[in-house]
Amino acid sequence: MHPKLIELEKSFDSSTLTQIIDPLLEQKQLELWIKRDDLIHPIISGNKWRKLKYILDHALQQEAHTIISMGGAYSNHLHALAFVGQQLNLKTVGYIRGEQPKKLSPTLLDIQKWGMQLRFVSRTEYRELRHYKQFDQLPSLQQGEYWLPEGGATNLALQGVADILPEIKINFDVLCVPCGTGTTLAGLIEASTDKMMIHGFSALKGGSFLTQDVAQLLTKETENWSILLDYHFGGFAKTNQQLLSFIENFSTHHAIELEQVYTGKMFYALFDLIQQDYFKPKQKIIAIHTGGLQGRRR
Ligand SMILES: Cc1ncc(COP(=O)(O)O)c(C=O)c1O
């Protein structure tokens, strides 16, 4: 690992596991624990650090001076990348989906402040950028520039996600994680044993393609995983009052903040499934808090 990254990681905390105490869990004889990756760092939190760690190491090994990536106006990925780029003295460039708005989102204001150069591209151009999956594939790339696909979805990201498992110091049966590109889920499946069941929760409507995408990222054949597709609340970043009330209640009762795009939907789904006896009595469930709380600001 590059010394700059070792230094950066020294101040991170990835050790917390919080048990959720709730009458429903007691009634169903289940244990629910949250792996608090939201507490890793105030900005590079959740799955962002997991996915970026080995990618940044690779970029530094390649002697890259600039990392170029892509995302939407509320992208947690670009937010973490811009901050970490500043910390590591790397230049960063972000291709942003859609026309430049009159008023930048809080996410874009942050990333601009941290020195990321913003390049607004049309939705068509943005979709084209998705074709470039390797760090050296972007056609316009200059010497010293490193391309990072949307959401940091690369094989190196899986390695960082795999680091989560040995940090969970209790035995468990079920592991749950929200899915956008499915990369975090794939990293967990790669590192899992057959005794664990891994569930992904799609944050997108029509997420059935995710099953194939995740399978393609895997280097092993295994059946200990599934993706739940029906808790998208109308689509990516869509919400309704039921979801927002759930998030507020969760924060009041358990003192843990969730956001409406990923973690809120997963925890809503989990409680719904628990209510429907989806899990077997005595099972221990771990849900990964993938952070992303900055994205709540609109
Ligand atoms: C907070 C949060 N949780 C979960 C995810 C989903 O991760 P993945 O794209 O690896 O499925 C994302 C998106 O990257 C995210 O920002």
Query: What confidence score (pLDDT) does residue 281 get?
Result: 98
CA distances from 278 to 137, 194, 209, 273, 287 (A): 43, 19, 23, 5, 15
Separation of 27 CA from ligand 1 center, angstroms? 31
Burial class (CB in 10 A: 0-12, 13-18, 19+), 104: middle
Query: What confidence score (pLDDT) does residue 293 get?
Result: 96
Q: Is the CB of 292 under 6 A from ligand 1?
A: yes
Give me the numbers of helices (H) and strands (E) for the chain, helices first please.
Answer: 12, 10
Q: Which of 181, 228, 247 to mutate to test the pocket of ligand 1 (most atoms within 8 A of CB)?
A: 181
Tokens (6 digits) for 274: 């628990």
Query: What confidence score (pLDDT) does residue 7 get?
Result: 95
Q: Is the CB of 75 under 6 A from ligand 1?
A: no
What is the full per-residue pLDDT of the chain (298 aa) written as tens digits?
A: 999 999 999 999 998 999 999 999 999 999 999 999 999 999 999 999 999 999 999 999 999 999 999 999 999 999 999 999 999 999 999 999 999 999 999 999 999 999 999 999 999 999 999 999 999 999 999 999 999 999 999 999 999 999 999 999 999 999 999 999 999 999 999 999 999 999 999 999 999 999 999 999 999 999 999 999 999 999 999 999 999 999 999 999 999 999 999 999 999 999 999 999 999 999 999 999 999 999 998 7
Measured CA to CA, the distance from residue 156 to residue 187 in angstroms comes to: 9
- Nearest residue by C-alpha to atom 13 in ligand 1: 180
Tokens (6 digits) for 133: 């999956």
Instruction: State residue 24 phi and psi, 5-degree precision.
Output: -65, -40
Q: Is the CB of 72 under 6 A from ligand 1?
A: no
Three-state secondary structure call for residue 91: strand
User: What's the order of all strands across the beta sheet hosting 225-228?
Assistant: 17-20, 31-35, 284-288, 174-179, 197-202, 225-228
Q: Is the CB of 94 under 6 A from ligand 1?
A: no
Query: What confidence score (pLDDT) does residue 136 get?
Result: 96
Q: Is the CB of 45 under 6 A from ligand 1?
A: no
Closest CA to 109 of 123, 128, 98, 96: 96
Q: Is the CB of 46 under 6 A from ligand 1?
A: yes
pTM of the model: 0.96
Residue type, 44: I
Separation of 50 CA from ligand 1 center, angstroms? 11
The atom of ligand 1 lying closest to the CA of 292 is: 1
Closest CA to 38 of 275, 273, 289, 257: 289
Query: What confidence score (pLDDT) does residue 298 get?
Result: 79
Separation of 184 CA from ligand 1 center, angstroms? 7
Mind listing the pLDDT tens digit for each residue in 108-129? 999 999 999 999 999 999 999 9
Tokens (6 digits) for 219: 């280097």
Q: How far apart are the first and last CA of the chain?
A: 36
